[in-house]
Structure 1
Amino acid sequence: MEKKKLDRLSELTAISRSRELTAEEKAERQRLRDEYRAAVTGNLKRQLESMTIIEPDGSRIKVSDLKRGGEE
């Protein structure tokens, strides 16, 4: 997420502490929050998928090769 957008999200949060946000500002803040949340979870997912599990017997399993429960 761009620094400009993070700064705007911080600005809207600061404004909300001093006065009620308008409907447009609330919608913008929610959109920015959703974008931030998606960026953070996307980064975390990529980090986890790049990891390797080393089993006690020394074998290695890439996390990205593991199948999640319930997913095909």
Structure 2
Amino acid sequence: MAGKIPPELIDRINELSKKKKESGLSAAESKEQRKLRQKYLSLFRETFRSNVEMLQVFDKKGNEVTPEKVKQIQRKKGLRDD
């Protein structure tokens, strides 16, 4: 999966968040926290985008109704034959 979020990243974000609530963070820790959160959001967005680009939508009758924009992206990535 593209951009999988490593558990260590989440663990460190949580550590810093807990420390901030309990005793506060140093300037270096605050800077690290911001960088880690930015990295997390970047990976989350990448993963979410990849998931959306891979999906196909079908109506109750079984007809594909995937939005054309998503179909175009899938064609560019070689994921569609049509």
Same fold (TM over 0.5): yes
* Matching residue of 1:41: 45
Taking every aligned residue pair, what percent have the same amino acid on both sides?
20
1:23 offset after TM fit, Å?
Answer: 0.7
Structure 1: distance between partners of 2:71 and 2:11: 34
Which structure has more RCO (C-alpha within 8 Å, separation ≥ 6)?
Answer: 2
Paired residue type of 1:45: R
The number of equivalent residue pairs is: 65
Paired residue type of 1:65: Q
Provide structure 1 residue ranges, at least 5 long, that are not aligned to the other structure. Answer: 67-72
Root-mean-square deviation (CA, aligned residues, Å) is 2.2
- Change in Cα spacing, 1:29 to 1:64, as seen in structure 2 (3 Å) is farther
Deviations 1:20-49 (A, max 9, x none): 211100010011101111111111100111
Runs of 4+ in 1 over 4 A off after TM superposition: 59-62
Paired residue type of 1:11: E
**With structure 1 as the length reference, what TM-score do the two structures score?**
0.73
1:59 offset after TM fit, Å?
Answer: 5.3
Q: Is the 8 A contact 1:50 1:64 kept in 2?
A: no
Paired residue type of 2:26: T
Provide structure 2 residue ranges, at least 5 long, that are not aligned to the other structure. Answer: 74-82
**With structure 2 as the length reference, what TM-score do the two structures score?**
0.65
Secondary structure, in 3 states, of the residue corresponding to 2:24? coil
